[in-house]
């Protein structure tokens, strides 16, 4: 499979010359803004021989607008990135292969949309052309952009919705949710570490209660949206309106979110075993402990407990978002919060690197 992805990547991805100088942050922001503006323009252009465009993006965690050149948008690539990290080991060519997998997903979705949905073949051609262009844009922005293209597009579109609702009550509820997430993410469980040689040097290692932040919720809805695009009845699992179907979607959300949250530390190599080894490389160990396996088990128990609370908190916030709707979906709101936090704060400790 990796050979197939490498082959697709060779003919589908343009090899941009690496920057010969350090790209200034201002230039990175400019490149990202240009790419976002082009994406927003595409989301306003109707598909030739296609259906009527939908005014707003009809996606929770990816950027896509039905009936336009962004009918699929970044959805195949977001799903491919998630699927690749779960199926394959991370390596030097992981980014290239995940984009190739995304292009493969886009081709399958385009063919299905043409054959099963009985749309014109030219619609599939337009969608594949846009997917090919998105691959080049994402590749270019890897070294010359400041924000992931999908996140930037979601941020821009959601900001538009928030600004248009600035004088409504829903904007106040959005502020409350953002404040709640920001505060909850400051809650930590501390683990006392001591230096292996300089015993007087100690540090308290913070283990966030929101161990996976909002990543689990984003990954869950990415999976649901992709599966619903293949089998439409599964759209019931993404229901966020108060009706009978919401009971089904909420039950599935809690179970699915917990399963995804349990897998994230393994995929991102942040399990107890990984953390203990990372700390030992920095010559730190848990104060009073000697056995590496026992330390890893102790840390893993903390991680498992925090992951459980992470799931409960996200589920509760999602339920609140269903009852009192903000201008954009709760999931999109969390993406905005995480993006801002990522670019205005520093990691809590170098030992996490």
Which pLDDT tens digit goes with each residue over 33-43? 999 999 989 98
Q: How far apart are CA 122 and CA 275, in angstroms?
A: 51
The pair phi, psi for residue 194, each rounded to 5°, is -130, 150
Q: What is the pLDDT of residue 113?
A: 73
Q: What is the pLDDT of residue 25?
A: 87
Q: Residue 227, Cβ neighbours under 10 Å: how many?
A: 15
**For residue 325, with 0-12 CB atoms within 10 Å meaning exposed, 13-18 middle and 19 or more buried, which class applies?**
middle
Q: Is 266 helix (H, G, I), strand (E, B) or coil?
A: helix
**For residue 84, with 0-12 CB atoms within 10 Å meaning exposed, 13-18 middle and 19 or more buried, which class applies?**
buried
Q: What is the pLDDT of residue 349?
A: 44
Residues with Cβ within 8 Å of residue 56, at least 6 apart in sequence: 65, 161
Give CA torsion, residues 322, 326, 327, 333, to 10 deg.
-90
Q: How far apart are CA 339 and CA 157, in angstroms?
A: 14
Q: What is the pLDDT of residue 57?
A: 45
**Which domains does the chain possess?**
2-163 (1.10.3370.10), 170-352 (1.10.3370.10)
Residue-by-residue pLDDT tens, the chain, 353 positions: 666 777 777 778 888 888 888 889 889 989 999 999 999 899 888 888 766 655 544 455 678 888 889 888 888 888 888 777 777 766 667 778 788 888 888 888 888 777 766 677 888 888 899 999 999 999 899 888 888 888 888 878 777 777 777 667 777 777 888 788 788 888 899 988 888 888 778 888 899 998 988 888 878 887 887 777 667 777 777 666 666 767 778 888 899 999 999 988 988 888 999 999 988 888 888 877 778 889 999 999 999 999 999 999 989 888 887 777 777 777 777 777 766 665 555 444 445 44
The pair phi, psi for residue 63, each rounded to 5°, is -105, 115
Distances in whole angstroms, Cα of residue 36 to Cα of each of 31, 89, 212, 337:
9, 30, 27, 19
Q: How far apart are CA 154 and CA 36, in angstroms?
A: 9
Closest among 71, 76, 119, 155 to 341, alpha carbons compared: 155
Q: Residue 56, Cβ neighbours under 10 Å: how many?
A: 12
pLDDT in tens, 141-198: 988 888 888 888 887 877 777 777 766 777 777 788 878 878 888 889 998 888 888 8
Residues with Cβ within 8 Å of residue 156, at least 6 apart in sequence: 36, 40
Q: Cβ(203)–Cβ(295) under 8 Å?
A: no
Q: How far apart are CA 240 and CA 309, in angstroms?
A: 22
Residues with Cβ within 8 Å of residue 274, at least 6 apart in sequence: 265
Q: What is the pLDDT of residue 300?
A: 94
Closest among 300, 314, 297 to 210, alpha carbons compared: 314
Residues with Cβ within 8 Å of residue 35, at least 6 apart in sequence: 137, 140, 141, 145, 149, 152
How, if at all, do strands 188-195 and 284-286 pair?
A: antiparallel
Q: What is the pLDDT of residue 35?
A: 92
Q: How far apart are CA 14 and CA 125, in angstroms?
A: 20
């Amino acid at each position: 499979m990796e050979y197939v992805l490498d082959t697709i990547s060779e003919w589908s991805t343009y090899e941009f010359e690496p920057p010969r100088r350090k790209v200034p942050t201002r230039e990175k922001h400019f490149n990202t803004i240009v790419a976002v503006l082009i994406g927003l323009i595409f989301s306003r252009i109707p598909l030739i021989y296609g259906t009527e465009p939908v005014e707003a993006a009809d996606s929770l965690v990816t950027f896509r607008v039905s009936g336009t050149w962004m009918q699929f948008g970044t959805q195949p690539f977001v799903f491919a990135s998630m699927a690749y990290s779960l199926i394959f080991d991370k390596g030097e060519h992981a980014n290239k292969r995940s984009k190739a997998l995304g292009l493969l997903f886009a081709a399958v979705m385009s063919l299905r949309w043409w054959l099963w949905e009985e749309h014109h073949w030219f619609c599939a051609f337009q969608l594949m052309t846009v997917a090919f262009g998105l691959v080049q844009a994402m590749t270019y922005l890897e070294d010359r952009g400041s924000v992931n293209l999908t996140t930037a597009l979601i941020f821009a579109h959601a900001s538009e919705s928030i600004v248009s609702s600035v004088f409504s009550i829903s904007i106040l509820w959005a502020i409350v949710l953002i404040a709640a997430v920001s505060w909850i993410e400051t809650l930590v469980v501390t683990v006392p570490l001591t230096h292996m040689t300089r015993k007087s040097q100690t540090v308290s290692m913070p283990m966030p209660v929101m161990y996976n932040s909002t990543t689990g919720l984003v990954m869950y809805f990415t999976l649901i949206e992709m599966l619903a695009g293949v089998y439409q009845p599964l759209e019931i699992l993404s229901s966020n309106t108060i009706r009978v179907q919401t009971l089904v979607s909420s039950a599935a959300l809690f179970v699915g979110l917990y399963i995804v949250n349990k897998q994230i530390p393994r995929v991102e190599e942040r399990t107890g075993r990984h953390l203990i080894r990372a700390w030992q490389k920095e010559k730190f160990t848990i104060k009073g402990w000697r056995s590496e396996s026992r330390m890893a088990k102790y840390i893993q128990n903390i991680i498992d407990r925090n992951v459980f609370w992470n799931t409960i908190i996200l589920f509760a916030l999602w339920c609140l978002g269903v009852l009192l709707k903000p201008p954009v979906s709760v999931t999109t709101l969390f993406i905005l919060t995480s993006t801002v936090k990522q670019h205005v704060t520093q990691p809590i400790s170098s030992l996490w690197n």
